[in-house]
A and B are shown apart, each in its own frame.
Chain A
Amino acid sequence: MRVSLNEIQVICRKAFEGIGFAPGDCDDAAEMIARLQQQGLDGIGALKKALDFLHDEVDRPIETCYEDATQLTLDAHGQSVLRCAAQAIELGVGKALRGGSALIRVRHCHNRILLLGYLARCAGEGLNFCVYWRDARQELVATFSAGNTHPALRVYDLPQPAQGDEQSINVLISRHFALLPRLSAADAAPTLEFSQPAAAGGLQVNDEVWAQLKKLGERVLVESTEESRRRGAGEGSDAR
């Protein structure tokens, strides 16, 4: 089905609220997912995948493992990247503006693709971004050149299952150089490329996923009773 940008934002906000995220995270999620959808990156699909993990979401601090003038490594301890995307990126932007470049790394986090939806906010800073992460089978590399709100995203198959610290996401930020995705390699072939913005006139989403999101959003609704119908919206509100 086709939906408006506003509908995507509203349903995301409500779905995240329904799961129990803090209001600030719900707002961020709404914007990030809508942005991804606009960029043709199936933010709604990413949200759906994310939701499978989120029932175990825990409310914990984000740990700072290391920080200096150009680097920041955080550990999200299994939480959604949503909880720290703003803090991590904005600190990184500050470091890159001062020092010329920065490397931000968030370990043990979920919904990593959502981070791409945040970066559009930083388009006006004159910085180049390169974001990469791996899951079990693929490596994803997104590059934003300065001033651009749309990333070039490449997905590479990994020849063997990745090991080690794979629930991390890495963001390279630089004022002076742009990183491009590798163009060709013997051991990897790009499988998808999304660099076109979605067309105006509504955004295409999967009906089933949409229905599931709506259902999640309904968790924020309070059951209606005769009493609440009568008094909750204002006595006499049915005046003819």
Chain B
Amino acid sequence: MMSHTDTDTSSALRPTARVMDLERLGSHFQSRLSFVRSSMRRMMNEQWRIQRTCFDLDAEGFGTAIYRIDTASAHYHCVIFSTYLPPEKRSDRVIADQWDVSFVLLAGDVDEQQLADLRRNVPLQEAGRFDSRVLVLSRANRSLRNFERFLEALAEGCQPDPRQLAEVGYLYRTTAVYGNGKFGIADFSCLQGTADFTQPFSAQMFTVYLLRHFSIEQIEHMARARNPQRAVGLDPALQRYLGVGNSTGLGMAPFLINHPQLVNQWLWARETALAQVVAQAADLPHAQRFQALLLRARRHLQQTSTEDQRQSGIDQQTLADLEQLAEWFAGQSVNAGLWSRLQAWAEVNVGTGCQELLVSLLLELYPEQVDPLAEQMSVNEGFRLNAEMPLDELCDLIETKYRWALDYDLSDAEANHFFWYRSAEKEEPRLGERAMEPGAEKEMQLGIAHNIQRCHRALLAYREQHPRQLTAHFLLALPQFKGTVCRLQGMARCAFGEIRANLMDRGMLPIHLLRCKLAFFGAGKFDPKSSRWVRITLFQGAPLVSEIGQPFPDDWNFAVMPELTNAAGAL
């Protein structure tokens, strides 16, 4: 698939400089294009069948569960191992070596021998070996507070307090969800054979959805075991409000720098969807729908809690902005140019958080325009050298498309404050301070701006001596710039994709990178634990497995806490 170029509806898309600003990327919210939404749509529209074929758990919830999944074109199994985890071993870090649950999604059937093999290897995660029948490998830890409170309530015949889920919206929190060939599992290209998981991360999102389903069945099982006479099942409204948590750190950050073509594709889809929506002639039903979505988003954000001061401040600002936006909107005439006026008003009057939330809201309004773009999130990555590009043209390219990189003053110590590196401890990515810590000589090459500046300087000097030569000649003389040149030639054809930031700058917040990718996954309830670590919730509000096959409004974004008539009283 070709990556989309500047010439496609370029005048209608928001300017690259604004879209690719790191702080703006770090202000994204879940949207209709998010991978959990498109996964859910596929499951519901194609009526995937999910059946439990093994549920061998003891009273504490330890044991094995297996689910079989049938789609139109294939079948799969999800195998889940739930094991005792000593409290001192419980950690979200990639350096952990034991977890509450470990699980895989497999293509086809699973026989006894394979099950024995999985039982040995899956709990080991990175230390195990797997074959290409495994599509996804993952693990998760319990939210201890929620587990205990849910168990207590259900065992007593009551429902847990919904406020607990508003605060921590899950029973399980994944700490890694591996796909694409890691540790021997199937390469992403293997998923292109059927229609089920062709979009990036769709297999991973589906596996997370299965964990959500398991977490409900497990907690109900444990409650029944604790008190067979009085235990009740979890109210469906609470089941829907239950998501799966995820804990993400720096490990995710390099991805966005190392896959600029994929990032371009995602942002192109989002901006194109936005442009198409804004071009629609507004009418009363759509305006009313917008107001309903706005109200729900406000309630959702009010119910989002975090101890992180920076995020909390931002959320408060966004809430204040949303109120202002609602007031302005209520006073507008509903006519053809309404969405365009709304977008223009927001650009001037509210902050980045509200502006990007507005994008998510607008994307909900015209599914027929937006949903097809969710099927265009993948791209064939790789840069091929344009050897015959004249040096003048190469120079021009840098000076126009990468002006943003040339404009940084990288001689400043603050601009070189950090270096990114991989630790010998399970290769965990970490940030070091260049002036104070060892290891900078092994730093990861995430300084795109630095590379561009170095290349530009060398190119200018070379062109002075050899003005008529071609790019290939420059790279024969100075082969160390090949990677940078291939990338910049390739990315010059993309409207988006290069993150406009100096990733070594003292003021750089890695969490913006994490949030951007997580928002594309469909994350909600962003709860930073630092500038390098964040917890989120996926699938909160999503339909249940039992609802597959029923009418589906596909409108579960920004879930709000359900009101129960008989919730448990005391916490």
B424 at the interface (CB under 8 A from A): yes
- Count the A-B residue pairs with Cβ separation under 8 angstroms: how many? 174
- Set of chain B residues within 8 Å of A202, measured between Cβ atoms: 131-132, 184
Choose among A27, A200, A222 the residue that contacts B190 (Cβ–Cβ < 8 A): A200
Closest-CB distance, B304 to chain A (whole angstroms): 17
Q: Are B387 and A239 in contact, with the CB atoms below 8 A? A: no
Choose among A3, A23, A87 the residue that contacts B475 (Cβ–Cβ < 8 A): A87
Choose among B92, B385, B386, B430 the residue that contacts A232 (Cβ–Cβ < 8 A): B430
A171 at the interface (CB under 8 A from B): no
A61 at the interface (CB under 8 A from B): yes
B91 at the interface (CB under 8 A from A): yes
A73-104 contacts to B, CB under 8 A, are 74, 83-84, 86-88, 90-91, 93-94
A136 at the interface (CB under 8 A from B): no
- Set of chain A residues within 8 Å of B189, measured between Cβ atoms: 5
Q: Are B385 and A94 in contact, with the CB atoms below 8 A? A: no
- Set of chain A residues within 8 Å of B421, measured between Cβ atoms: 221-222
B337 at the interface (CB under 8 A from A): no
Report the bound CA distance from A122 to B445 in whole Å. 27
- Set of chain A residues within 8 Å of B485, measured between Cβ atoms: 24
The number of residues on chain A lying at the interface, defined by a beta carbon within 8 Å of a beta carbon of chain B, is 53
Choose among B93, B183, B190, B480 the residue that contacts A22 (Cβ–Cβ < 8 A): B480
Closest-CB distance, A6 to chain B (whole angstroms): 3
B467 at the interface (CB under 8 A from A): no
- Set of chain B residues within 8 Å of A219, measured between Cβ atoms: 442
- Set of chain B residues within 8 Å of A26, measured between Cβ atoms: 483
Q: Are A7 and B183 in contact, with the CB atoms below 8 A? A: yes
Choose among B91, B442, B533 the residue that contacts A220 (Cβ–Cβ < 8 A): B442
Closest-CB distance, A184 to chain B (whole angstroms): 38
Chain B CB within 10 A, most for which of A4, A93, A121, A239: A4
Q: Are A232 and B432 in contact, with the CB atoms below 8 A? A: yes
The number of residues on chain B lying at the interface, defined by a beta carbon within 8 Å of a beta carbon of chain A, is 64
Q: Are B185 and A4 in contact, with the CB atoms below 8 A? A: yes
Q: Are A234 and B530 in contact, with the CB atoms below 8 A? A: yes
Chain A CB within 10 A, most for which of B180, B439, B479: B479
Closest-CB distance, A105 to chain B (whole angstroms): 14
Closest-CB distance, A229 to chain B (whole angstroms): 7
Report the bound CA distance from A63 to B477 in whole Å. 7
- Set of chain B residues within 8 Å of A191, measured between Cβ atoms: none
Q: Are B132 and A237 in contact, with the CB atoms below 8 A? A: no
Q: Are A234 and B424 in contact, with the CB atoms below 8 A? A: no
Choose among A4, A31, A223, A239 the residue that contacts B186 (Cβ–Cβ < 8 A): A4
Residue of B nearest to A86 (CB): B385
Q: Do A222 and B438 contact each other (CB < 8 Å), given the known contacts A5-B189, A74-B476, A235-B530?
A: yes
Residue of B nearest to A217 (CB): B427
- Set of chain B residues within 8 Å of A74, measured between Cβ atoms: 476
Choose among A6, A84, A228, A234 the residue that contacts B437 (Cβ–Cβ < 8 A): A228
Q: Are B425 and A61 in contact, with the CB atoms below 8 A? A: no
Report the bound CA distance from A5 to B424 in whole Å. 23
Closest-CB distance, A194 to chain B (whole angstroms): 21
- Set of chain A residues within 8 Å of B185, measured between Cβ atoms: 4
Report the bound CA distance from A59 to B478 in whole Å. 9
A201 at the interface (CB under 8 A from B): yes
Q: Are B483 and A23 in contact, with the CB atoms below 8 A? A: yes
Residue of B nearest to A222 (CB): B439
Report the bound CA distance from A59 to B480 in whole Å. 8
Choose among B129, B249, B481 the residue that contacts A233 (Cβ–Cβ < 8 A): B249
Q: Are A91 and B183 in contact, with the CB atoms below 8 A? A: no
Q: Are A238 and B92 in contact, with the CB atoms below 8 A? A: yes
Q: Are A224 and B483 in contact, with the CB atoms below 8 A? A: no
- Set of chain A residues within 8 Å of B533, measured between Cβ atoms: 233-234, 236-237
Q: Are A5 and B382 in contact, with the CB atoms below 8 A? A: no
Choose among B180, B186, B382, B476 the residue that contacts A87 (Cβ–Cβ < 8 A): B476
- Set of chain B residues within 8 Å of A193, measured between Cβ atoms: none
Q: Are B427 and A221 in contact, with the CB atoms below 8 A? A: yes
Q: Are B476 and A233 in contact, with the CB atoms below 8 A? A: no
Choose among A1, A201, A235 the residue that contacts B132 (Cβ–Cβ < 8 A): A201
What is the 8 Å Cβ interface bit string for chain A, positions 198-240, against chain B (1 contact, 0 not)? 0011100000000000000011111110011100111111111
Choose among A4, A61, A94, A235 the residue that contacts B181 (Cβ–Cβ < 8 A): A4
Residue of A nearest to B511 (CB): A234
B525-551 contacts to A, CB under 8 A, are 529-533
Report the bound CA distance from A1 to B132 in whole Å. 12
- Set of chain B residues within 8 Å of A42, measured between Cβ atoms: none
Closest-CB distance, B186 to chain A (whole angstroms): 7
Residue of A nearest to B193 (CB): A200
Report the bound CA distance from A63 to B473 in whole Å. 9
Residue of A nearest to B91 (CB): A238
Report the bound CA distance from A224 to B475 in whole Å. 36
Q: Are B482 and A24 in contact, with the CB atoms below 8 A? A: yes
Closest-CB distance, A214 to chain B (whole angstroms): 11
Residue of A nearest to B95 (CB): A229
- Set of chain A residues within 8 Å of B249, measured between Cβ atoms: 233-234, 237
A64 at the interface (CB under 8 A from B): yes
Q: Are A1 and B445 in contact, with the CB atoms below 8 A? A: no
B428-481 contacts to A, CB under 8 A, are 428-432, 437-439, 442, 445, 470, 472-473, 475-481
Residue of A nearest to B471 (CB): A87
- Set of chain A residues within 8 Å of B180, measured between Cβ atoms: 4, 6
Q: Are A237 and B529 in contact, with the CB atoms below 8 A? A: yes
What is the 8 Å Cβ interface bit string for chain A, positions 42-64, against chain B (1 contact, 0 not)? 00000000000000000101111
Closest-CB distance, A1 to chain B (whole angstroms): 7
Binding site for A on B (CB under 8 A): 90-93, 95, 129, 131-132, 144, 180-190, 249-250, 382, 384-388, 421-425, 427-432, 437-439, 442, 445, 470, 472-473, 475-486, 529-533
* Further contacts, 4 of them, CB under 8 A, given A86-B385, A218-B424, A238-B93: A6-B187, A87-B387, A90-B386, A228-B432
Binding site for B on A (CB under 8 A): 1-7, 22-28, 31, 59, 61-64, 74, 83-84, 86-88, 90-91, 93-94, 121, 200-202, 218-224, 227-229, 232-240
* Shortest beta-carbon contacts, A-B, top 10: A24-B483, A6-B181, A232-B430, A234-B532, A4-B181, A90-B387, A222-B439, A24-B482, A234-B533, A224-B425
